[in-house]
């Protein structure tokens, strides 16, 4: 799906903080069909990843001491400063205060009350991802947390998300369209794994893509699994340890 203007309150960008930009670029290019753009010398090699010429994600160096290799989602907002203040009032934390990124936009890194980290993006010259919900693009975000009630209260207050609660799983959306979900982290999650947002990218064949990921040096943590009435997914990590998921909708 082509995106000409980001929807405020919805996911607008995906960014991988990694220890090896070149290796990560090669891995995701082979797996998801991306083409690395020109690295930004002014931003430590920050590189946009393109799908048929359209920006869909980025690889980024680790800017802070102790920062883990991880994918981060950005939510589109009209005012990064106001959103950071609203998030703080709702029990969240500001990890990196609002700052300008050249003439591209303004962003902040936040954490919800349960500890899950995400970013907000106030677009100027750069709107964010130009594609979503298709092969090679972000198609779902999923919050994994140990306090679903606190998380739900936070995101509905800060972004006005709608809530579609099912048995053991909650879906978030805007204007009647769901773009993400939430699940409780039970005993099957090791204690050392903090609450986090998991990013799902579309592929044509989950099992074939999972096999290809292992050939490229990645690992499969949850093999291809059916979601009744929806599609099939798998959870992987790239060679540097960045966790993500792949998804094929039911035809």
Q: How high is the pLDDT of residue 109?
A: 97
Sheet holding 162-165, edge to edge: 162-165, 170-174, 177-184, 138-145, 196-202, 243-249, 231-237, 219-227
Pick the more confident residue, 65 or 161: 161
**For the ranges 38-47, 68-77, 91-100, which has the lowest average pLDDT?**
38-47
Q: Write the pLDDT tens digit of every residue in 209-250.
A: 999 999 999 999 999 999 998 999 999 999 999 999 999 999
- Give the helix ranges, DSSP H, for the chain: 21-32, 80-89, 148-159, 206-215
Three-state helix/strand/coil letters over 179-245: EEEEEECCCCCCCCCCCEEEEEEECCCHHHHHHHHHHCCCEEEEEEEEECCCEEEEEEECCCCCEEE
What's this model's pTM, rounded to 2 decimal places? 0.96
Query: Is 131 part of a structural domain of the chain?
Result: no
Count of domains for the chain: 2
- Rounded percentage of the chain residues whose pLDDT exceeds 90: 90
Q: Are residues 119 and 147 in the same domain?
A: no
Banded pLDDT at 162 (limits 50, 70, 90): very high
Banded pLDDT at 5 (limits 50, 70, 90): confident
Residue 155 CA to its chain's centroid (Å): 15
CATH number of the domain where residue 87 is located: 3.10.180.10
Q: Are residues 91 and 155 in the same domain?
A: no
Instruction: Give mean pLDDT, residues 8-22.
Output: 98
Query: Is 209 part of a structural domain of the chain?
Result: yes
Q: How high is the pLDDT of residue 136?
A: 98
Q: Are residues 23 and 114 in the same domain?
A: yes
Q: Is the pLDDT of residue 123 over 90?
A: yes
Instruction: Give mean pLDDT, residues 47-59.
Output: 98
| Last residue of one domain, picked from the residues 95, 123, 151 | 123
Residue given tokens 């703080």 in the structure block: 88
Instruction: Give mean pLDDT, residues 150-171.
Output: 95
Instruction: Report how far residue 84's alpha carbon sits from residue 94's, in angstroms, rounded to the nearest whole number.
Output: 7
Instruction: Report how far residue 221's alpha carbon sits from residue 176's, in angstroms, rounded to the nearest whole number.
Output: 32
- In contact, 117 and 196? CB cutoff 8 Å: yes
> In whole numbers, what is the pLDDT of the chain averaged over residues?
96
Instruction: Give mean pLDDT, residues 145-162.
Output: 98
Query: Is 78 part of a structural domain of the chain?
Result: yes
- In contact, 71 and 27? CB cutoff 8 Å: no
Q: Are residues 107 and 149 in the same domain?
A: no
Q: How high is the pLDDT of residue 6?
A: 87
Q: Are residues 41 and 145 in the same domain?
A: no
Q: Is the pLDDT of residue 65 over 90?
A: no
CA distances from 192 to 95, 116, 150, 187, 196 (A): 20, 13, 20, 11, 12
Domain that holds residue 97: 11-123
Q: Is the pLDDT of residue 18 over 90?
A: yes
Q: Are residues 118 and 54 in the same domain?
A: yes
Query: Is 149 part of a structural domain of the chain?
Result: yes
Q: Are residues 79 and 115 in the same domain?
A: yes
Q: How high is the pLDDT of residue 188?
A: 85
Q: Is the pLDDT of residue 101 over 90?
A: yes
Q: Write the pLDDT tens digit of every residue in 181-215.
A: 999 998 888 888 999 999 999 999 999 999 999 99
């Amino acid at each position: 799906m082509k995106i000409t203007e980001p929807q405020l309150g919805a996911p607008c960008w995906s960014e991988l903080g990694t220890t090896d930009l070149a290796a990560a670029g090669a891995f995701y290019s082979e797996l998801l069909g991306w083409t690395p753009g020109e690295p930004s010398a002014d931003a430590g090699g920050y590189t946009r990843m393109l799908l048929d010429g359209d920006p869909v994600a980025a690889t980024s160096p680790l800017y802070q001491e102790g920062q883990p290799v991880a994918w981060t989602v950005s939510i589109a907002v009209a005012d990064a400063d106001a959103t950071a203040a609203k998030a703080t009032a709702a029990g969240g934390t500001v990890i990196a205060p609002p700052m300008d990124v050249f003439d591209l936009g303004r962003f902040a890194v936040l954490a919800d009350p349960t500890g899950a980290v995400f970013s907000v993006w106030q677009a100027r010259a750069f709107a964010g991802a130009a594609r979503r919900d298709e092969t090679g693009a972000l198609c779902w975000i999923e919050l994994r947390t140990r306090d679903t009630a606190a998380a739900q209260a936070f995101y509905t207050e800060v972004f006005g998300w709608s809530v579609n609660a099912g048995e053991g799983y909650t879906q978030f959306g805007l204007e009647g369209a769901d773009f993400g979900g939430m699940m409780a982290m039970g005993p099957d999650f090791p204690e050392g794994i903090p609450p986090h947002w998991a990013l799902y990218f579309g592929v044509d064949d989950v099992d074939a893509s999972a096999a290809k990921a292992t050939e490229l040096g990645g690992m499969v943590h949850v093999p291809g699994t059916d979601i009744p009435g929806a599609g099939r997914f798998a959870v992987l990590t790239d060679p540097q340890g960045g966790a993500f998921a792949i998804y094929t909708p039911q035809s």
